[in-house]
Structure 1
Amino acid sequence: MPLVSVPDRQRHKVFQLPVDLCADYPTWLGDRMSQGQGAHVITINAEMAMQAEQDPELGRAIREADLVIPDGAGVVWYLRLRGRKVRRSPGIELAADLICQAAGLGWQVFFFGGAPGVAAAAAQVWQQQYPTLKVAGVQHGFLSDDERSQLLRDLETKQPQLILVGLGVPRQEFWIREHRHLSPQSIWMGIGGSFDVWSGQKQRAPRLLQQLNLEWTWRLIQEPWRWRRMLALPRFAWRAVTDWS
């Protein structure tokens, strides 16, 4: 079969971190899979970009990723200031598109992370929506030593095409970077708290806030403890308008 024709991917920089712009991320990733290549997908926002400046290991993980998508409004704003045509691409939506693609192509999907029962509930929701979806496995993120060993064996044995990891930033990025060799032809993607949303444990921001790029305010309302982390946003904004190197 001929390879699928995909739009070009353009790689830009936010500070010293890569951000990839592409009209169709799922198709781009599907093309890599058709060529026997896997991918580590990272979704970046302003908070994560500032965190990477303080954490060299996180910065290295982002730079080594195969696809870095502009998840946050701050990253989109930064690139638009520099004349780049870009739209926000929330990670939760890309992950949903990949699950839909997996159901259509017969890919196996592995759900890993979250509190006990949450990933399983999320997987069940998706199987109800797509009865053809093949779930290779489900595992929560609070592992005993035996559960951790079994998880790694399962990934190596089953080689699922799509592995969704919900451990939060930066833990999920480090975990994928460390274990990606177990299934090198898979798409590995850190998805933060998406399992919580899919399982109904939390609600995503109303559509209006999403359209206004104010989804972060909804997360702050639901998780007030995040306020300290949100202090990175004004620092990012200052850097965006002053750092043109």
Structure 2
Amino acid sequence: MVEKEHNQKINVLSVYFDNVSMVDMRLDIKKYFEQQQQKNLFIVTANPEIVDFASSNKAYRNLINSADYVIADGTGVVKASKLLKTPLQERVPGIELMEECLKIAHTNKQRVFLLGSKNDVVDQARENLVAKYPNITFGHHHGYIDVDDMDVLEIIKNFNPDYVFVAMGYPKQEQWIDKHREQFKRTVLMGVGGSLEVFGGVKKRAPQIIRSLNLEWVYRLIIDWKRLGRIKSIPIFLYKVGKQMRAKK
């Protein structure tokens, strides 16, 4: 594990979250590169859907708990921590943390590899990000690969990235990182879900006012009804949190 100043862990359904803010994460990632560490940095961004899945899948739960950081990418996780009397500081959205990493990479003239989504989406995401962050050298590949695909791994290793953002959706993106993390040195590896679709212009984030009200999940549901089936995990998540609350009494 990489050394860090913030060691407090918050238990939500046996997923152990780092009690960090966005400011903490930005400073820690900057410090990580300044210290010239050889170890890589594995960051998991977990929302209620991921926590619910992990709570009933021991292998996946152990995998994400082995990460260097597990951060709360979801209002539901933060609210659950408050109900459990162990409040997390704030939600740290994965796409916003990725943007903070890109700002650092731009300043440091670093190398970023985008792995995930469809060919045309990741191509457009790369094109848009190159325009926004011209000091970054970008590599990319679509995400329709097997976790064991060694050819793609070699492409990424030969690129010598400072960051690898994996947008395959859970649990595959974390499984890919966990399987190959030791193949890299001084690299930040993070699962970023649907972020490349946002950067590629395929999907839009909620307006800032909606985000400030912690209702981004409602906005995503309204504009993409295919997410309706995934929303069913939220009441299950809340039920399990209730059981954890009662167990603590």
Is the TM value for this pair above 0.5? Answer: yes
Match in the other structure for 1:50: 52
Aligned residue among 106, 116, 122 for 2:119: 116
Moved >6 Å (runs of 4+): none
Name the TM-score, length of structure 1 as normaliser.
0.89
Comparing 172-181 with 216-225, greater Cα deviation is found at 216-225
State the shift of 1:79 in Å. Answer: 1.4
Comparing 70-79 with 116-125, greater Cα deviation is found at 116-125
Aligned residue among 61, 64, 74 for 2:63: 61
- Count of residues in Structure 1 that have an aligned counterpart in Structure 2: 237
Match in the other structure for 1:106: 109
Aligned residue among 36, 42, 57 for 2:38: 36
Residue type of the alignment partner of 1:209: I
Match in the other structure for 1:222: 223
Match in the other structure for 1:10: 8
Taking the aligned partners of 1:12 and 1:32, their CA distance within structure 2 comes to 23
Comparing 196-205 with 214-223, greater Cα deviation is found at 214-223
Give the 3-state SS of the residue equivalent to 1:117 in structure 2.
helix
Taking the aligned partners of 2:187 and 2:154, their CA distance within structure 1 comes to 15
Match in the other structure for 1:212: 213
Comparing 23-32 with 36-45, greater Cα deviation is found at 23-32
Does the CA-based 8 Å contact 1:155-1:182 persist in structure 2? no
Comparing 162-171 with 201-210, greater Cα deviation is found at 201-210
Comparing 63-72 with 126-135, greater Cα deviation is found at 126-135
Taking the aligned partners of 1:53 and 1:84, their CA distance within structure 2 comes to 19
State the shift of 1:125 in Å. Answer: 1.1
Match in the other structure for 1:231: 232
Taking the aligned partners of 1:85 and 1:229, their CA distance within structure 2 comes to 24
Match in the other structure for 1:202: 203
State the shift of 1:167 in Å. Answer: 0.3
5+ residue gaps, structure 1, are: 1-5
Does the CA-based 8 Å contact 1:161-1:186 persist in structure 2? yes
Taking the aligned partners of 1:85 and 1:67, their CA distance within structure 2 comes to 14
Aligned residue among 13, 18, 21 for 2:19: 21
5+ residue gaps, structure 2, are: none
Q: Does 1:191 align with 2:204?
A: no
User: Percent identical across equivalent pairs?
Assistant: 30
Aligned residue among 117, 125, 128 for 1:125: 128
Offset from partner CA, 1:95-154 (integer Å, 9 cap, x none)? 01101101111221001100112112112211111211121x110112499xx4432112
